[in-house]
Structure 1
Amino acid sequence: MIKVKLFDQEHEKDLELEMNKFLAKIEEKKLIDIKYNVAAITEEEDEQIYCFSSMIIYKS
Structure 2
Amino acid sequence: MIQVKLFDEEHEKDLEKKMNRFLEKVDEQKLVDIKYNIAALPEDVDEQIYCFTAMIIYKA
TM-score (norm 2): 0.96
Q: Tell me the amino acid that sits aligned with residue 28 of structure 1.
A: E
Comparing both structures, which one devotes a greater share of its residues to helix? 1
Task: Please list every run of 5 or more consecutive structure 1 residues that lacks an aligned counterpart in the other structure.
Answer: none
Query: Structure 2: 5+ residue runs without aligned partners?
Result: none
Counterparts of 1:21-36 in structure 2 under 5 Å? Answer: 21-36=21-36
Amino acid at match of 2:28: E
Q: Where is the strand percentage greater, Structure 1 or Structure 2?
A: 2
Q: Distance in 2 between matches of 1:27 and 1:11?
A: 26
Question: C-alpha distance in 1, partners of 2:38/2:45?
Answer: 21
Identical residues among aligned pairs (%): 70
Consecutive aligned runs of 4 or more in structure 1 exceeding 2 Å deviation: none
Task: Give the aligned partner of residue 38 of structure 1.
Answer: 38
Between the aligned partners of 1:2 and 1:59, the Cα distance in structure 2 is: 5
Partner amino acid, structure 2, of 1:9: E
Number of paired residues? 60
